Structure 1
Amino acid sequence: MAAAMSRCRLWSCAGLVSGGLLALQVSAAALPPPAYQWATRGTPVPPPVLYALALQESGARVRGRLVPWPWTLNVAGQSYRFADRRSACGALLQALRTVSAKQVDAGLGQINLGWNGEHFTHPCEALDPYRNLTVATALLLKHKSPNNNWTTAAGRYHRPAGGAPAKRYRQAFARHLTRLTRPNLQGMKTP
């Protein structure tokens, strides 16, 4: 399975610089992109929080910029990025035949299909960017309490049990969030 997936990794797939990629390129003034604003509408989740979460979960370097990549899978601890949804869906279905769904994360928010698969009518629905972000928003809210901040909630989103992995995640998430929310006074590109 790994061999088949590696052939379709982001870095080697044809068509990477096609229109789909251009849709992901946004100016610093437009961050976070409209999909993140749409997914958080009517909730207390600030769009930059969801965008920082997606950067941490599925971020890929494209043309020197870190962007969330919608067709990202993590199968048994190994990340795979695909050029399009169809390729990612095929690999996702193959992965689910090979390993436990609890070892498969999908999409922008890397939703675990074993623990949270009930949020989707079909496994490949997790690769729909809007649906994935909506589920990620709901899961993030589930981990937010009046006694914690968004960084703590993000750590619990990644690893509800806490510990060192959640701490590392919180630190990385906080770096993304800080870059997104600090004033961009020198005209530098936001990642």
Structure 2
Amino acid sequence: MQRIFSTLYLIFALTVFGGAALAQSLDMRLCDQSIKAVAKSTFVPKSVLLKIARLESGRRVQDQMVSWPWTLNNSGAGYFFASKSDASVKLQKLMAAGKKNIDVGCMQLNIRWHGRYFNTTSAMLSPFENVSYAAKYLEQLYRETGSWEKTVKYYHSRNPKFNLVYYAKFLDMAEPDLRQLSAPLLASTDQGVFSILPAAAGDKNSLIWVVPQGSMLFAGNVISAPAFTDIREFRVSPLVPSLQ
């Protein structure tokens, strides 16, 4: 009887944790897949999109550095969630509490300055729409400045106090290798990267990084609203509808 229970438990564990690993493997591809698709319809270099995404939401998952789609940052406090639904719940709680300096998704778009251009927060969090908007914003910054250096700097902040270090990180970063998208991704998760928040923290089963990295080093990284045109009519179908 004990052997039967042990076998059933093993099957259950493999089903639950195997499914979680598969979901994570699919999600860790979404930002890069979205960038690869968006790059076909924008003059923004794919390398610029990839490197900014890594700076903004890059995390090591399953021994690979990837841009994680379910990323939020509230005034310097960074959150890395296991699913879009978990991230959406936290985002709604923050907004209900009157928080506005919240960065969202693959490209860490700020709710205060960019939220008005999305019909819903769910759309803003969706990888393809998040990346599509970021590409349009980068296009506008390039038309304004005529310089990719200034474009990258201004994407982060117009304040040299913040954007000089950000651009130095951008220059130092090698272009991410998209070949990882086709590599086997079912290895076990690096548990050293994440810590499960206790239920008392209010976000059951969510994940958080304790030490902000990349652009998260700078709280209040936007000092003025960008002059940005309304692109709410810019809509395309999600890259992978079943995963959004």
Q: So what's the TM-score if we normalise by structure 2?
A: 0.59
SS in 1 for 2:87: helix
Partner of 2:128: 130
| Alignment match, 2:26 | 23
* Larger RCO, structures 1/2 (Cα 8 Å, 6+ apart): 2
Q: What is the alpha-carbon distance in structure 1 between the residues aligned to residue 55 and residue 115 of structure 2?
A: 20
Q: 1:181 to 1:91 in 2, by over 3 A?
A: closer
Task: Note if contact 2:145-2:151 (Cα within 8 Å) is conserved in structure 1.
Answer: no
> Rg: which structure is higher?
2
Alignment length, in residue pairs?
A: 160
* Contact kept in structure 1, 2:71 and 2:79, CA below 8 Å: yes
Q: Look up the equivalent residue of 1:173 and give its one-letter code.
A: F
Contact 2:35 2:131 in 1 (8 A): yes
Change (3 A) 1:24 1:180: farther
- Match of residue 97 from structure 1: 96
Unaligned segments of structure 2, at least 5 residues: 1-16, 178-244
Cα distance change, pair 71–24 in 1 and its aligned pair in 2 (3 A): closer
In structure 2, what is the equivalent of residue 54 of structure 1?
53
* 1:164–1:67 Cα change, 3 Å: same
Contact 1:151 1:174 (8 Å CA) reproduced: no
1:111-147 CA-to-partner distances (Å, cap 9, x unmatched) read 0011011221111221100000001111111211475
| Paired residues for 1:1-191 under 5 Å | 18-23=21-26, 33-101=32-100, 103-145=101-143, 148-159=146-157, 161-176=158-173, 179-180=174-175
How has the CA–CA distance of structure 1 residues 112 and 147 changed in structure 2, closer, same or farther, with 3 Å as cutoff?
closer
Shift of 1:181: 7.5
**Structure 1 alignment gaps of length 5 or more:** 1-13, 27-31, 183-191
The residue that corresponds to 1:4 in the other structure is none
2:222 alignment counterpart? none
CA drift at 1:163: 1.2
Which of structure 1's runs of 4+ aligned residues deviate more than 3 A? Answer: 14-17, 145-149
SS in 2 for 1:117: helix
RMSD: 2.4
Distance change (3 Å), C-alpha of 1:23 and 1:48: farther
Distance verdict in 2 for CA 1:157–1:15, change over 3 Å: farther
Q: What is the alpha-carbon distance in structure 2 between the residues aligned to residue 72 and residue 93 of structure 1?
A: 14
